[in-house]
Amino acid sequence: MSCEVGLGPAKRREFEGSALIEMKLGGLSMFFKKVATQELNAPNTVIGEGVYLEAARMSGQESVRIDGVYKGKIEIDGSLVLGDSGSVTGDVSASYFLVAGEMLGNIECHTQLHFAATARVTGDVHAQSLIVDEGSQVTGRYRIGEPRPQPGEETTLDDTAKLIPEQ
């Protein structure tokens, strides 16, 4: 599914024991089944509330929690939690990402991305699975469930034009 939207609050509904997410796009309602949220272990790294950190890039294999302010690129192979008092400005790539604070930048999530009710996000999103809680504010383009292109598989408009026969 690909769409470009500026979402207001999404609605969560219970259906046969599973939570469903309803997002309204114009007059169209879209429903997403909530999958089980990944259990989070205690983070290995914490950027606490009141801390301001500006770096070119943060990367690692373990889990990270941000309750302060971080500016820069983040590449985490583990889980990343942006607490409700936290703020990130920069692109993020993580296996699992829970957003409860303010995020300004693009997000790539390899398993599950969860926007909590307090999330305020501006940026494009690519995730295998998406959970959007009621009250979250998200503006950007979405690619959900689509595999990432592997190196060498990326196509450009010029490549696509070569596939279309001339009339």
- Is 61 among the domain residues? yes
> Which domain does 73 fall in, by range?
2-148
- Is 27 among the domain residues? yes
- Is 164 among the domain residues? no
Q: How far apart are CA 20 and CA 23, in angstroms?
A: 10
- Is 28 among the domain residues? yes
Question: Alpha carbon of 22 to those of 16, 17, 38, 121: distances in Å?
Answer: 15, 16, 21, 18
- Is 159 among the domain residues? no
- Is 75 among the domain residues? yes
Residue range 49-58: average pLDDT? 91
* CA nearest to 138, candidates 162, 165, 166, 114: 114
Counting the structural domains of the chain, the total is: 1
Question: Residue 6 is which amino acid?
Answer: G
pLDDT in tens, 83-118: 999 999 999 999 999 999 999 999 999 999 999 999
Please provide residue 33's backbone torsions phi and psi, each rounded to the nearest 5 degrees. -75, 135
Q: How far apart are CA 66 and CA 68, in angstroms?
A: 6
- Is 165 among the domain residues? no
Query: How high does pLDDT run on average in the chain?
Result: 76
Q: pLDDT at residue 28 above 70?
A: no
- Is 44 among the domain residues? yes
Q: pLDDT at residue 20 above 50?
A: no
